Amino acid sequence: MNSFSFCRPTDFFFGRGAENHAGEYAKKHGGTRVLIHFGGGSAIKSGLIGRIEKSLDEAGIYHVRLGGVKPNPRAELVYEGIELCRKEKLDMVIAAGGGSVLDSAKAICNGVPYAGDFWDFYMGGKKPQAHLPLGTVITIAAAGSEGSDSSVINKVVDGVVRKKGCNLQQNVATFSLMNPELTMTLPPFQTACGACDIMCHVMERYFTNTKEVQITDAMCEGVLRTMVEMFPRVMAHPDDYEARANIMWAGTVAHNNILGVGREQDWGSHRLEMELSAMYDVAHGAGLSVVMPAWMECVMDHDVTRFVQFAHRVFGIEPDFYHPEVTARTGIAALRALWGAAGLPLNFEELGAKREDIPQMVAHITHDDRTEGHFVVMDGPFITKVFEHAADYRRP
Ligand code: NZQ
Ligand code: ZN
């Protein structure tokens, strides 16, 4: 196991009615003037924003609204949010929505006290010296942003949409209020995209070259097995509270890095997916369901035993000791079957992506001779192979 440091000080409240504690938690963490940040309308329609406002009113906390965050959140609204916070002298942001809303809020929190352009944090190198505290009320179990140190933003640079992430300790939410019932209004496709993203966050950590990481291996496998059980259950019964609750906490655990400490992590599939969601504005989880299994097939020969372990411990497939690659492939097929049955796309055509755009996406990823991934380090030709494999896959 590798040495590591791990600090995730988020104050969580989990359970029915969590959002009604917004006022109490904002006060506890020093908020007096709050920006409520949300998306395209689902949080208004469900009454969530009204309940958060009521809770803040009861705690005597001033609040201002800024809605309109789009999936694959845009830099323009971040700039607007930063200006609004400065004008209104706000001292806290509460993000109510999905990963896109939370990531937009994180960018605002870091941007308000910063004299330069918040995008500096996403281009690498610069770190915010100060930031506003962030509270979150998540409405989709997916990105894990409520417990992660990441934020991902889209910005048009030189006429091209670029999607960039930044990982900073300052991005870790001060408090997160998690009510599984809030996810019951999700369209089935969004529920499926979220479940896929959760599984991928675990798998990006699971496929590693680090030896002797039994504790995090077992924790990853436990989360993945839970998802294999709960994902079909929630697709069949969207109002199954226990399934929603298990998936919601799985989403947080999958990406607050408790499963990733002490081990090399991969993240190649996520990087490739970011090109797909930047170019086609597709849901992140949908892009992953196309890329991740294709990546697995391209890299499995590197450590077929790890793929056998995955197939056996996650999907209960009996190992074929004479033909381990058959077991490995059966595991990947089981993953595709799970995702495909939930209505997720499995190739470029189903996603709405085009094979002829592959060179442009690869060029974005490999500028300045960059490589991606760690389990297998991918150069341009290898990334092209993964994308082409994802493009050409056909359902059995
Ligand atoms: O805008 P509204 O009307 O709220 O609709 C949203 C949106 O259209 C809808 N939705 C959310 N909760 C709902 C709901 N509709 C009905 N009922 C509800 N309860 O769902 C749609 C998708 O929302 P979005 O926030 O985009 O989804 P998700 O949570 O999957 O976030 C995806 C974004 O997170 C980034 C992705 O790249 C993508 O930009 N990621 C962020 C990470 C992080 N910060 O740690 C890590 C991830 O790997 C990921 O990259
Ligand atoms: Zn993700």
pLDDT at 124: 82
The three state secondary structure string of 204-268 is HHHCCCCCCCHHHHHHHHHHHHHHHHHHHHHHHCCCCHHHHHHHHHHHHHHHCCCCCCCCCCCCH
Q: Give, for ligand 1, the residue of 146, 190, 197, 258 to mutate: max count of ligand atoms closer than 8 Å to Cβ.
A: 190
**Is 3 a member of any domain?**
no
Is the pLDDT at 215 greater than 90? The verdict is yes
What is the C-alpha radius of gyration for the chain, rounded to an integer number of angstroms? 21
Neighbours of 116 (CB within 10 A): 10
CA distance 355 to 291: 13
What does DSSP assign to residue 372? Answer: B
Ligand lying closest to the C-alpha of residue 145: 1
Q: Are 386 and 375 in contact (CB under 8 A)?
A: no
Across the range 377-381, mean pLDDT stands at 98
The type of residue at 152 is: V
- Which residue owns the Cα nearest ligand 1 atom 42? 143
**Is 59 a member of any domain?**
yes
- Token output for 373: 């991934």
Measured from the Cα of 194, ligand 1's closest atom is 30
Give the CA distances from residue 75 to residues 60, 71, 219, 263, 359, in Å, rounded to whole numbers and listed in that order: 31, 12, 36, 33, 26
**Is 362 a member of any domain?**
yes
Are 230 and 324 within one domain?
Answer: yes
Of 182, 205, 238, the residue that ends a domain is 182
C-alpha 114 to ligand 2 mean position (Å):
27
Which of 99, 129, 136 has the alpha carbon at shortest distance from 112? 129
Q: Which helix (H) or strand (E) holds 34?
A: strand 33-38
C-alpha 197 to ligand 2 mean position (Å):
5
Of 182, 198, 227, the residue that ends a domain is 182
- pLDDT band per the 50, 70, 90 thresholds, residue 362: very high
- Token output for 380: 């341009």
pLDDT at 125: 78
**Is 55 a member of any domain?**
yes
User: Looking at the 3D structure of the chain, how many domains does it have?
Assistant: 2
Are 164 and 199 within one domain?
Answer: no
The percentage of residues in the chain with a pLDDT greater than 90, rounded to a whole number, is 98
**Is 117 a member of any domain?**
yes
Across the range 256-271, mean pLDDT stands at 98
Measured from the Cα of 41, ligand 1's closest atom is 3
Across the range 101-115, mean pLDDT stands at 98
Is the pLDDT at 368 greater than 90? The verdict is no
Neighbours of 108 (CB within 10 A): 29
**Is 66 a member of any domain?**
yes
Of 146, 165, 182, the residue that ends a domain is 182
Q: Give, for ligand 1, the residue of 37, 46, 100, 154 to mutate: max count of ligand atoms closer than 8 Å to Cβ.
A: 100
Q: Please indicate whether residue 68, judged by its CB atom, sits closer than 6 Å to ligand 1.
A: no
229 Cβ contact list (under 8 Å, min separation 6): none
pLDDT: is 162 or 112 the higher one? 112
Is the pLDDT at 256 greater than 90? The verdict is yes
C-alpha 359 to ligand 1 mean position (Å):
28
Which of 20, 25, 21 has the alpha carbon at shortest distance from 10? 25
Are 308 and 263 within one domain?
Answer: yes
Are 373 and 298 within one domain?
Answer: yes
Which of 14-18, 366-370, 372-376, 377-381 shows the lowest per-residue confidence on average (mean pLDDT)? 366-370
Checking DSSP bridges between strand 175-178 and strand 62-66, what pairing results, if any? Answer: unpaired
Measured from the Cα of 43, ligand 1's closest atom is 4
Are 200 and 177 within one domain?
Answer: no
Judged by DSSP in three states, 104 sits in: helix
CA distance 308 to 314: 10
**Is 376 a member of any domain?**
yes
Q: Across the chain, which distance is largest between two alpha carbons, in Å?
A: 68
End-to-end Cα spacing for the chain: 39
Q: Please indicate whether residue 142, judged by its CB atom, sits closer than 6 Å to ligand 1.
A: yes
Are 260 and 172 within one domain?
Answer: no
Ligand lying closest to the C-alpha of residue 197: 2
Q: Return mean pLDDT, the chain.
A: 97
Are 178 and 203 within one domain?
Answer: no
Domain region containing 95: 11-182
The CATH number linked to 294 is 1.20.1090.10
C-alpha 287 to ligand 1 mean position (Å):
13
Across the range 90-112, mean pLDDT stands at 98
Q: Please indicate whether residue 144, judged by its CB atom, sits closer than 6 Å to ligand 1.
A: yes
Are 209 and 168 within one domain?
Answer: no
Are 211 and 355 within one domain?
Answer: yes
Judged by DSSP in three states, 190 sits in: helix
What pLDDT, in 10s, does the model give residues 292-349?
Answer: 999 999 999 999 999 999 999 999 999 999 999 999 999 999 999 999 999 999 999 9
- Token output for 122: 């996403």
Q: Please indicate whether residue 190, judged by its CB atom, sits closer than 6 Å to ligand 1.
A: yes
The CATH number linked to 60 is 3.40.50.1970
CA distance 141 to 178: 10
What pLDDT, in 10s, does the model give residues 50-76?
Answer: 999 999 999 999 999 999 999 999 999
Which of 387, 390, 389, 394 has the alpha carbon at shortest distance from 358? 387
Is the pLDDT at 176 greater than 90? The verdict is yes
Are 299 and 240 within one domain?
Answer: yes
Are 210 and 329 within one domain?
Answer: yes
CA distance 197 to 96: 19
**Is 333 a member of any domain?**
yes
Are 288 and 265 within one domain?
Answer: yes
C-alpha 199 to ligand 2 mean position (Å):
9
C-alpha 142 to ligand 1 mean position (Å):
7
- pLDDT band per the 50, 70, 90 thresholds, residue 42: very high
